[in-house]
Amino acid sequence: MNIQSVRRKCFPLKIKGGYSIRVATKKEVMDLIAKSYDKVFPDRGDTPCFRMTPERRKKAQEFWKRYDVLHHEWFLFLDPKGKPIGWHMGEAEDYQTFYMRNTGILPEYQGKGLYGAFLKAFVPYLGSLGYERISSQHKPTNKPILILKLKQGFVIGGFEMTENWGALVKMVKIIPQDRRESFYRLFGDMVHLSD
């Protein structure tokens, strides 16, 4: 399978209001994150996240090279004039699961349906690549994103506590119907099965 040809069929994505989402490079996304991360994810107060020392980061570079071999996706969200206003990055979590690592949209553009529109295109795209599951992690207090994910067919798949990010809720979208039914039989009630 040629991932790039499948990607070209789905993106760039035009969204109402003249907004769009296009495929980007790692550098483009990381440059936007470097200048916009604190605007999208402001100060966390008295509970700072753990960060590795520069010396330990240098030691980890060999592992990062191996990590970069995984299937990654990089996107930019653009305003009607083509200016980057947000990003998405993620990678293969395992051979059947894509992990939506981080998405950020500048505060003045949040609530315009950009992320929801992205998910509606991104889920079938990942399914056409052969992924059967999509995962993401969110702060348990991030109600707008948790609700949006639930409305788009994600379910709670677990919880994690990390020194890097604190408490996180793992959300999972199971793409094939038979696999989704299996999840509901094991962990819920079949009457809740929808979408």
pLDDT-based confidence at residue 46 (cuts at 50, 70, 90): low
Mean pLDDT along residues 146-171: 94
The residue that leads in pLDDT, 46 or 157, is 157
Report how far apart, in Å, the C-alpha atoms of 39 and of each of 32, 44, 45, 112, 113 are.
11, 12, 14, 17, 19
pLDDT of residue 107: 96
Please state, for a pLDDT cut of 70, what percent of the chain lies above it. 96
Burial class of residue 173, CB neighbours in 10 A (0-12, 13-18, 19+): buried
Mean per-residue pLDDT for 20-26? 98
Using DSSP bridges, classify how beta strands 13-15 and 84-92 pair: parallel, antiparallel or unpaired: unpaired
